[in-house]
Chains A and B, each alone.
Chain A
Amino acid sequence: MRAHIPEAALNDYADGLLPPDQTAGVELHLAACDECGAYVRRLRALSVRLSAAPREGEPGRDLWAGVAARIAAAETAEPVTWETAGSVADDDRESVPGVIPLRSRRAPAATVWLQRAAAAAVLFVGGVGVGQRVGAAPVRVVTTPTQTLSPLQAPAATPTAAATDIQRTGSEYVRAMATFASLSDEASPREVAQAREAAMSALYSAAKALTELPGADSSAVELFRTVAEARARAAGPSREAAALGDSTPGVRF
């Protein structure tokens, strides 16, 4: 019974990858073996078809808006440049933009997460207007005014997961504010006010949860107090505005 050339060698031969001596051996075999010869021909035909397959495809919709919105959300959720940041340039080995330079790389991981979560959380105290700046062009986030933030999943399995949830709530809040700003001319003031309230409640919950994480320090408490005050202020003007039927694009928390 005649031995055939192994599949791997036939492939390597078809791909031109065999050293000269083995190539000669295969060709000697192929001269007398129809089966292996046919296999090589089929491999080559397949290779031609595959290399001719189109390498570009057009999605069913324009995906740029989604890309831009996510970049905007990521940008505005990035940690603020604390005035100390300039002095940590030497310590900062992180190459990914948006990571807070660690004041000390010996800081315990849980505390670093809290710092990042806290930094992300404070960004949305500014409210409207933050989301309107994106590079050269303003970004429209395509959502409805009644869309509310998803509440924090309860409870996260680890402090790190909880901090991540909190951080994400922060960036979602910012994005929501951008939406409200862009829709303030079109949507009913009452709907926008209700949505703002819902967003602020989610924010409040996140800030509160931050104070309950292990390792939370007085900065977390101070952050929570700031959010609580902002929420109290927001509750006043938004209800007034809804009653007056006035649009509230300028509400500052």
Chain B
Amino acid sequence: MEPERPRVPALTVLTPPEPVARSASTPPAPDTGSFEEVYRAHYRRVYALTLRMTCDPGRAEELTQDVFVRVWQTLSSFRGESQLSTWIHTVAVRTTLQHIRAETRREARVMTTDDLSRYAAEAKRAMPDASIDLERAIARLPPGARSVLLLVDVEGYPYEEVAGLLGVTIGTVKSQLHRARRLMMEALER
């Protein structure tokens, strides 16, 4: 079937399309003015998560921005089934996990002592109430164990949800979690 040939428009066409013209069921896009309020209300939670999960301040900043761009793009699909903060946090977790999976495929990144010091310094600056021993121990966990520990024990996600987010069984989540906890205790009690 012959696809519709797009016509080259004149200048006058180049006003931003109204969302309602794209599809009758699309709600109006939020303007960036009020979206900044959404950003301001939630960015700190997102940054703490991305920082701990990546242990890389530069990456965490990029991912934080990625998350809010994604939230903007998909805001029309948020139907209020949960709190907006919960929904945004889930977007943050998914976005960060996707990034970590992609990074792991590209390279097995080993954290050097310098990386760890840099991360610890940033964690202290970004989260003044944090225990640096705790943050360092979390950073030293293998990435899979770290994600599970953060999601279950720091962020309070139930096992079922973590399993869904990671695409694994609950049994796998629990064994990763137990291993992470054991490693943490060994690191903290050294």
A residues in contact (CB < 8 Å) with B: 7-8, 11-12, 42-43, 46-47, 49-51, 53-61, 63-64, 66-68, 70-72, 74-76, 78-82, 84-86, 89, 92, 95-98, 101, 103-104, 106-108, 111-112, 115, 118-119, 122-123, 125-126, 130, 133-137, 139, 217-219, 222-223, 226, 252
Contact = CB atoms under 8 A, between A and B. Distances in A.
B109 to A, nearest CB: 21
A137 B47 contact: no
Given A60-B126, A81-B21, A89-B23, A115 B6 contact: yes
A134 B32 contact: yes
B74 A115 contact: no
A85 B7 CA distance: 12
- Please list the 7 inter-chain residue pairs (A to B) with the smallest Cβ-Cβ separation, ordered nearest first: A135-B31, A136-B33, A57-B48, A57-B126, A56-B44, A81-B17, A126-B14
B72 to A, nearest CB: 5
Contact of B3 (A96, A107, A139): A107
Interface of B: 1, 3-9, 11, 13-19, 21-26, 29-36, 39-40, 43-45, 47-49, 51, 57, 60-61, 64-65, 68-69, 72-74, 76-77, 122-123, 125-127, 129-131, 134-135, 149, 153-156, 174-175, 177-178, 181-182, 184-185, 188-189
B28 to A, nearest CB: 11
Q: Is the interface of B mostly helix, strand, loop or mixed?
A: helix
A50 B32 contact: no
Contacts of A98: 73
A79 to B, nearest CB: 8
Contacts of B122: 60
Contacts of A58: 44, 47, 125-127
Contacts of A218: 5
